[in-house]
Amino acid sequence: MAYKHSYPKEVIEKASHVRLVIFDVDGVLTDGRLYYGADGEALKVFHTQDGHAIKMLIASGVDVAIISGRESAMVERRAVDLGIGHVRQGVLHKAQALEQLSSEAAVALEAMAHVGDDLPDLPIMLSVGLSIAVADAHPLVRDRADWVTALDGGRGAAREACELVMHAQGTLSKGLATYLNASSS
């Protein structure tokens, strides 16, 4: 089964060592817009394809975390739905949260990837082994990323990041085979 990818060699090399992928929420797992309900609650929209790719990544043996500057019960709910075990919300200093996560998960910074979109993500992106920016990220974030997705945050970018890591680690074809071979079972 052929699944075509075209990634720079150095990005594949970095992604091959990733053991934990960290996602920002607003602007990465969502499109960055906040909708407020009649009672003042902030609503977020998550892309189901991003969520499925996160589940595939976890099933492949790569751990997943969320580090977000905002707090939201919806993020906690989404993390539970997807099986994300490490969730840090309301984080003012993302670099500190990164150090705590590294210690808690027993994963070196060099074996982590981060997917971000805005300036508060830069301290993490500049500290981990692989930094990924979504297509509609702030220009400074895109300029400092090892790789930039083709799709915008909340619109498939997280799926691209998951598939990059799985491709680099040789687990994507196996993950896809579950679906491609379903009719022949």
Q: The tokens of 29 are what?
A: 């797992």
- Domain of 43, CATH number, reads 3.40.50.1000
Provide the pLDDT for residue 33. Answer: 85
Q: Is residue 185 part of a domain?
A: no
- Is the pLDDT at 39 greater than 80? The verdict is yes
Q: Is residue 3 part of a domain?
A: no
Dihedral of the alpha carbons of 160, 164, 167, 169, in degrees to the nearest 10: -140
Number of domains, the chain: 1
Full-prediction pTM beyond 0.85? yes
Q: Is residue 132 part of a domain?
A: yes
- Dihedral-angle region of residue 11 (phi above 0 means left; psi in -120 to 50 means alpha; beta otherwise): alpha
Please enumerate in sequence order all residues whose Cβ is within 8 A of that of 71, keeping only pairs 6 or more positions apart, or say none: 89, 90
Dihedrals phi, psi of 168, to nearest 5 degrees: -65, -30
Q: Is residue 139 part of a domain?
A: yes
Provide the pLDDT for residue 182. Answer: 60
Instruction: Reduce the DSSP state of residue 28 to 3 states and report it.
Output: coil
Q: How far apart are CA 33 and CA 117, in angstroms?
A: 13
- Is the pLDDT at 36 greater than 80? The verdict is yes
Instruction: Reduce the DSSP state of residue 65 to 3 states and report it.
Output: strand
Domain containing 42 equals 9-178
- Is the pLDDT at 153 greater than 80? The verdict is yes
Provide the pLDDT for residue 1. Answer: 38
Closest CA to 167 of 15, 2, 10: 15
Q: Is residue 146 part of a domain?
A: yes
Segment 126-139 mean pLDDT? 98
Q: Is residue 184 part of a domain?
A: no
Q: Is residue 2 part of a domain?
A: no
Segment 151-168 mean pLDDT? 96
Q: Is residue 30 part of a domain?
A: yes
